Structure 1
Amino acid sequence: MVTCIDILKALAIYWKTIFIIVYPLALLPIFLMNNTPAMRCLYVVVLMAGFWVLEVLPLAVTAMIPLALFPTMGILDTKKTSMAYFKDSNMMFVGGLIIALAIEFCNLHTRISLHAIKLIGCSYRRLNFGLVTLTMLVSMWISNTAATAMMIPIIEAVLAELEGQGLGRVFEKEENEDPEAEIDPQMQRPTRVTMCFYIGTAYAASIGGLGCIVGSGTNLALKGIYETEFKDSPGVDFNKWLAANVPLMVAIMYPTWVWMQFWFMGLGRPNSADAKAINVGKEGEEVTRRVLSEKLHEMGRLSNHEVMVGIMFVFAVMLWFLRRPGFMKGWPEYITDTTVGDACAAMIVVVLLFIFPARLDFLHVFDKDESKRPTAPSTGLITWRYIHQKMHWSLIFLMGGGFALADGIKNSGMGELVADQLAAIAGLPRLSVLVLSSLMAMVVTQFTSNAAVANILLPIVASVAKVLISINSRKILTFLQKAEVHPMYLMMPVCLACSFAFCLPVSTPPNAIAAAPCNMRTFEMIKVASVIEVIAMVMLIAIFPFLGSLIWDFETFPEWARNTTETE
C-alpha cells in the first residue's frame, strides 16, 4: 500500500519533472483568455522566470526557450530571434572572456597576486585587505567565478602554513579531540578568521564585477538590452561605465571590509577573542612572507608568454578606452566611417593572441647547437583547446536568451502592456522608483542566477522608463513633469543590484566556491551578508543618482529617448 511518506519521497525525487509538466499548463490561462501577441509573450516570460528561479532545467537550456516558442506562438520570427543570441554585447563577452583566459593560461594572474600581497603586508589584517583589494581589481576584468577560484588556493596555502607554525587555526578545535583520530572534513567548523578570508574573497569578486563593463554577465546584459530597447541612444560606453561605477565599487568594498573586520577579526574591539586570534606578531608576518616567496620561486622567472599576454591585456584596455574617449576623436574615426563597437576591439586582441607565439623558439631555428633548435612550432598565447575547456559557453546562451526576451517584449507589445499596468508609479518621485526596482532585483538575486534576474527585470524596467517618458510627453498631468526619467537612471541601478548576491551559497558561484572548502554554514553567511546588503544598497542610492547625473546628465532629457517612445 502506498503511504503519504512514499508519495512525499517520490515528489522529492521527481519534483522537477512534475514542475516542468504542471507549471506550463497552469500558466495557459494567461493567453487563452486574451490571445494576443503581448499575452503570449507574457506567458513565455513568466514560464522562463519560473524555470530560471527554480533551475528545473539548466539555465542555458531555459534561455533557448524563445527559439522554440517565439516563432511557433507568432511573437517573433526565427531569424530575428536567432539574431538576438549573438548581439555585439555577447561577442564582447566572448572576447573579454578569452582575454581573461589567456591571463589564466600563462598564470600571470597568480604572479601578480603574490607580488601584490607581499607588497601590501603579511599581518592577518593587511593580508585580508590585500586579498580583497586584489580580488576586486582582478574581478573587474575577468569573471567573478574565475577571480574567486584564483584566490582560494593562495588563501589555503597561507592559512595552512600559519597553522603549521602554530600561529593560528583553519578549523575550530573540538573539545576532547583525539589528535590521532581521523576527522571528517565535512564536519569541521571554520574559525572566524578562516570565514573572513574565504567569504570576503567571494564578496570582493562580486563587488569588483561592478566596476567594468566586462566584469560581469549582468553588465553586458544591460548593454545589450539597453541598446535593443533604445536603438537611437549612444549605447553603453566602456569609459562612462568605469567613471560611474568604479567609485561606487570602491565605496561598497571598503565599508564591507571594515564591517567584516569588525565582525570576524575584532576591529575596534581590542580585548575580544577575535582580535586576540589574529595577533600573530612579527613571526606570523615572516611565515606568510616566506610562503609567498616560496610560491614565487616555484613559478620561476617572468616568461615571454606572461610578458606578451600582459601587453595584449593592456592593448585591449587601451582599445576599449580610446574607442570613444570623449575628450578626443576615437581611434576608429581615423580609419573608417563604419561604426566600430567594443566587440571589434576585443576580437582584434583575440586574433593576436593566436598569432603571437608563447615561446621564442623560432629565434634558435638555425642555432649551431642543435639541441636548442625547436622540434615543433610554439603554440599561440592561448590555445583553442584551453578555451574550449574553460569557456562559460552556457552564459553566452543565457545572455542571448535575455536579449531574445527583450526583443520579444518590444515587438509583441508586452512592454506597453506591462508599462500601462505600472503607470501608477508615475506619480512617485523617480528616486522612489529607483529604490523599489533595485530592492526587487537585490532580493530576487539571492535565490537564482544574477544574469537570469537581469534578463527578466531589465526589459521590464526599460518599459517602466518608456511609460514615464510617454506620460510626460503627452503631458497628461502637469504635476508629473518630473516623472520623465532617463532610461539609464533606472536600468543601471537594477543591473548593479543584481550583483548584490551575498546572502546564500547558491546566490552566485563565488559564494559557493568560497563557502565549500571552509564549510561555512549558510546561517553564518546570512548574518554577515545582511549588513553588506544594506551597505551596498545605501551606497548605490546615495552615489549613483548624483554621479550618474554628471555622466549621463539625467536633468537634460535626451531627445532620442522621447523619439523612441513616440515611434513605438
Structure 2
Amino acid sequence: MMASCVKQLLSCKRFFILVFTPVVLLPLPLLIQTKEASCAYSIILMAVFWCTEVIPLAVTALLPVLLFPMFGILESKKVCMQYLKDTNMLFVGGLIVAVAVEQWNLHKRIALKVLLLVGVRPPLLMLGFMGVTAFLSMWISNTATTAMMVPIVQAVLSQLNDTDHHTSELENSEGRTNPGMELEEKNAMAMTSVQVISNGHMHEASIDTTEREEKKRINKGMMLCVCYAASIGGTATLTGTGPNLVLKGQFTQIFPDNGDILNFASWFGFAFPNMIVMLFMAWMWLQFSFMGFNLKKTWGCGVIKSEKEQAAYNVIREEHRKLGPISYAESSVLLLFTLLVVLWFTRDPGFVKGWATVLFNKDNVEYVTDATVAVFVAVLLFILPATKPKLHCYKKSNSFDIDDLEEEEKESFFSVPLLTWKVVHKKMPWSIVLLLGGGFALAKGSDASGLSHWLGQQMTPLHTIPPWAIAIILSLMIAVFTECASNVATATLFLPILASMAKSIEVNPLYIMIPCTLSTSFAFMLPVATPPNAIVFSYGHLRVSDMVKTGIIMNIIGIICTTIAINSWGRPMFHLEIFPPWANITDGQ
C-alpha cells in the first residue's frame, strides 16, 4: 500500500514541481517587494526547473522574457536583445563548421588514421582513442564525437575479446538498454558448467575465468576513456563546449571594458596545456584501474602481435579502406576548417597586433570578433561546391527535357554546395542558443535589479580567505552540482554570482570564473551527468558503480590540474595577481 502511494507521488513529481515551486517562492517578491527580491525569485525558479528538467532547458531559458518585464526588472526589448549576442553567433558559426565536418565524415577519417598509427596494444589503443576523441571534441560536439567513436571501440573490442555470442548480444543491445546484469549472469553460468564437467578441467576453468575478468576490465576502461576524453577535450577551445561560451558571454557583458582579454587564442593558450595534462593523468588512472602496469603484458614490449590483436587492427584498417580516397568535399571542408582555426588564432594573438586590429579595428573599437570569423567560414560552406568545378558547364541542346535537370545540375560548373540548410536545420542544437541567451538575460537582469551588487556585499567576509582556496572550494562544489544538472545551466547560474563575489573581495574575476567554468565539464561520475556518459553506458559494459568509483578520482584529477594551471601559466596570461581596473566598471546601463 505504502509502496503504491510513493509510486503515485513520484509519477506526479513533474506536476508538483511545476505548480508548487512558483507558489512556494511567491512570498519572496510579495513580502520584500524590491527588484532584487523579484530577480532572485526568477533565478531560483529557473534554477529549480533547470535542475529537475520538468520542462525543456531551452523553454526555461525563455522565462526572463516573461518574468523580468512582469516584475519591472527590465523592459522586454532589452531582455530580448540578450538572446542573440556576439557569443551566440560565435556558437552558431562554429557549430555550422562542425556540422560540415560530420556531414562529410572527415572526423571518422581522422580518427581511423590515428588509430592505425598507434596500433592495437591495449594501453596504446586506449591512448589513441582518448587522443582522437579529445581532439575531435575540441571542434565538434562531445555527443557527436562519442556517438561516432563508441561503435569503433566496440568493433575493436569484439575482435580482441573473440567471443561471438557475447558480441552479438552487445550489438543487439546498442543504444537501447544496459544488459550488463544479464551478461554477467550468463557468463557466470558458463563458468559453472565448465567447472562441473570434471575435476580435470578445474585449472582450465580458473584460467578462463581470470581471462574473462581481464577482458571485462579492459572493456570497461576502453569505454570510459571515450566519454572522459570527450568531456576533457571540449574544455580546450572556446567553442568546444557550452560553458566556455557562457563564460565568454557573461564575462564580456558584466565587464565590457576588459579589452578582449578572453578570446579564442588566449583561452586556447591556457586551456589546451591543461587539457593535455589532464588527459594524460586520466589515461594513467584508467591504466591503473583496469589494465595494471605490467609493461611486457600490456604494452607488448618485444612480443609479437597475437591473432586477436591482428584481427582488431584489420577491423580498423577495413573501416578506413571503406572510406575510400579523400574526396574533393572532404578536402574543401578540411581547408575551410584550417582557415577558421588560423583566422581565430591570428585575429588578436595578444603578443602582437592581429590582422583584425590592423585592418578593421580602429579607434579602440573592436569591429571584428571571433564570431565574425566563424560566420565568414560558415557562409563559405553554403557557397563553395561539393564537387570539383567542371569547365564544360555549357551544353548546347536543341530540346529541353525536364528529366535532365538534375543531371545537368550535377554537371554544372557550380554544383551543390558543401552544406545545405536542410542538413544544418536537422543537426544544429538550436536549444543551446536559447539556453545561452537565457543566461545572458539573467546576468543583465541581476545587474539591472541590483541583485549582483547585493550578493557581492554579502560575500565581502570571504576577503580573509586566500583566493586559491576559494577557487578550489567553489570548483569542487560546481563539479558535484554538474553531476545532476546541465553543464551549461550550471555555468549560467553560477558565473554571474562568482563575478559579483570577485568584485566584492577585489580578486581578478577570471581567477574564480575560469576554474569554475572548467569544473562544469567534470561530469565523470554518473551516466545521466552528460550525454557522452549516457551513450557509453548504454552499450552494457559498465555499471553505475564502475562509473562512480572511477569518476570520483577523475573529478579530483580535474580540480588539481585546473588549480595548478590557473596558479602557474594562468597568472601571467591573464594578469591574475592584480585586481584590474576594468573589474570595477560594469554594464549597468
Q: Taking structure 1 as the reference length, what is the TM-score of the superposition?
A: 0.89
| Partner Cα separation in structure 1 for residue 25 and residue 541 of structure 2 | 40
CA gap 1:244/1:8 in 2 versus in 1, 3 angstroms? same
1:193 alignment partner in structure 2? 218
Q: Is the Cα contact below 8 Å between 2:507 and 2:578 reproduced in 1?
A: no
Matched, 1:331 2:385: no
| Partner Cα separation in structure 2 for residue 284 and residue 162 of structure 1 | 5
Selected match of 2:101 from 90, 100, 103: 103
| Partner Cα separation in structure 2 for residue 225 and residue 317 of structure 1 | 23
Selected match of 2:531 from 484, 502, 509: 509
1:476 alignment partner in structure 2? none
Matches within 5 A, 1:95-134: 95-134=93-132
Matches within 5 A, 1:446-485: 446-468=483-505, 484-485=506-507
Selected match of 1:260 from 286, 290, 310: 286
1:26 alignment partner in structure 2? 24
Matched, 1:419 2:456: yes
2:88 alignment partner in structure 1? 90
| Partner Cα separation in structure 2 for residue 156 and residue 374 of structure 1 | 43
1:564 deviation in Å? Answer: 3.9
**Matched position secondary structure for 2:469:** helix
Matched, 1:286 2:314: no
| Partner Cα separation in structure 1 for residue 59 and residue 113 of structure 2 | 41
1:275 deviation in Å? Answer: 9.8
1:243 alignment partner in structure 2? 269
Structure 1 letter corresponding to 2:36: A
Structure 2 letter corresponding to 1:234: G
| Partner Cα separation in structure 1 for residue 406 and residue 583 of structure 2 | 64
CA gap 1:374/1:251 in 2 versus in 1, 3 angstroms? same
CA gap 1:39/1:304 in 2 versus in 1, 3 angstroms? same
1:95 deviation in Å? Answer: 0.6
CA gap 1:30/1:160 in 2 versus in 1, 3 angstroms? same
Matched, 1:560 2:578: no
2:383 alignment partner in structure 1? 355
1:182 alignment partner in structure 2? none
Q: Is the Cα contact below 8 Å between 2:502 and 2:509 reproduced in 1?
A: yes
1:219 alignment partner in structure 2? 244
Q: Is the Cα contact below 8 Å between 1:248 and 1:544 reproduced in 2?
A: no
RMSD of the TM alignment (CA)?
Answer: 2.7
Structure 2 letter corresponding to 1:10: Q
| Partner Cα separation in structure 2 for residue 44 and residue 280 of structure 1 | 64
2:401 alignment partner in structure 1? none
| Partner Cα separation in structure 2 for residue 31 and residue 416 of structure 1 | 18
The superposition leaves residues 331-370 of structure 1 with CA deviations (integer Å, 9 ceiling, x where unpaired) of 22343235211111000000000100111253453589x9
| Partner Cα separation in structure 2 for residue 416 and residue 558 of structure 1 | 18
Selected match of 1:146 from 120, 144, 158: 144
CA gap 1:92/1:32 in 2 versus in 1, 3 angstroms? same
The superposition leaves residues 101-123 of structure 1 with CA deviations (integer Å, 9 ceiling, x where unpaired) of 10000001101110111111221
**Matched position secondary structure for 1:328:** coil
| Partner Cα separation in structure 1 for residue 576 and residue 226 of structure 2 | 35
| Partner Cα separation in structure 2 for residue 100 and residue 283 of structure 1 | 37
| Partner Cα separation in structure 1 for residue 274 and residue 166 of structure 2 | 34
**Matched position secondary structure for 1:507:** coil
Moved more, 22-31 or 497-506: 22-31
1:328 deviation in Å? Answer: 2.8
CA gap 1:5/1:123 in 2 versus in 1, 3 angstroms? closer
Q: Is the Cα contact below 8 Å between 1:502 and 1:533 reproduced in 2?
A: yes
Q: Is the Cα contact below 8 Å between 2:93 and 2:374 reproduced in 1?
A: yes
1:294 deviation in Å? Answer: 1.0
The superposition leaves residues 77-112 of structure 1 with CA deviations (integer Å, 9 ceiling, x where unpaired) of 111111111111111011111101100000011011
1:375 deviation in Å? Answer: 4.2
Matched, 1:532 2:554: yes
Moved more, 413-422 or 487-496: 413-422
Q: Is the Cα contact below 8 Å between 1:244 and 1:551 reproduced in 2?
A: yes
CA gap 1:191/1:420 in 2 versus in 1, 3 angstroms? same
Moved more, 134-143 or 281-290: 281-290
**Matched position secondary structure for 1:524:** helix
1:410 deviation in Å? Answer: 0.8
1:322 alignment partner in structure 2? 346
| Partner Cα separation in structure 2 for residue 347 and residue 421 of structure 1 | 42
CA gap 1:382/1:46 in 2 versus in 1, 3 angstroms? same
Matched, 1:437 2:437: no
Q: Is the Cα contact below 8 Å between 2:134 and 2:230 reproduced in 1?
A: yes
2:79 alignment partner in structure 1? 81
| Partner Cα separation in structure 1 for residue 314 and residue 521 of structure 2 | 36
**Same amino acid, percent of matched pairs:** 39
1:228 alignment partner in structure 2? 253
| Partner Cα separation in structure 2 for residue 47 and residue 290 of structure 1 | 54
Aligned length: 537
1:543 alignment partner in structure 2? 565
Structure 1 letter corresponding to 2:470: V
| Partner Cα separation in structure 1 for residue 162 and residue 393 of structure 2 | 49
Q: Taking structure 2 as the reference length, what is the TM-score of the superposition?
A: 0.86
1:557 deviation in Å? Answer: 3.1
| Structure 2 unmatched runs, 5+ | 171-182, 192-211, 397-403
Q: Is the Cα contact below 8 Å between 2:122 and 2:299 reproduced in 1?
A: no
Matched, 1:395 2:443: no
Structure 2 letter corresponding to 1:259: W
2:51 alignment partner in structure 1? 53
| Partner Cα separation in structure 2 for residue 163 and residue 438 of structure 1 | 40
1:417 deviation in Å? Answer: 1.4
Matched, 1:209 2:207: no
2:202 alignment partner in structure 1? none
| Partner Cα separation in structure 1 for residue 520 and residue 578 of structure 2 | 27
Q: Is the Cα contact below 8 Å between 2:156 and 2:313 reproduced in 1?
A: no
1:306 alignment partner in structure 2? 330
Structure 2 letter corresponding to 1:509: P
Structure 1 letter corresponding to 2:218: V
| Partner Cα separation in structure 2 for residue 343 and residue 258 of structure 1 | 37
1:519 deviation in Å? Answer: 4.6
Q: Is the Cα contact below 8 Å between 1:90 and 1:400 reproduced in 2?
A: yes
Selected match of 1:65 from 22, 47, 63: 63
Q: Is the Cα contact below 8 Å between 1:266 and 1:275 reproduced in 2?
A: no
Moved more, 97-106 or 10-19: 10-19
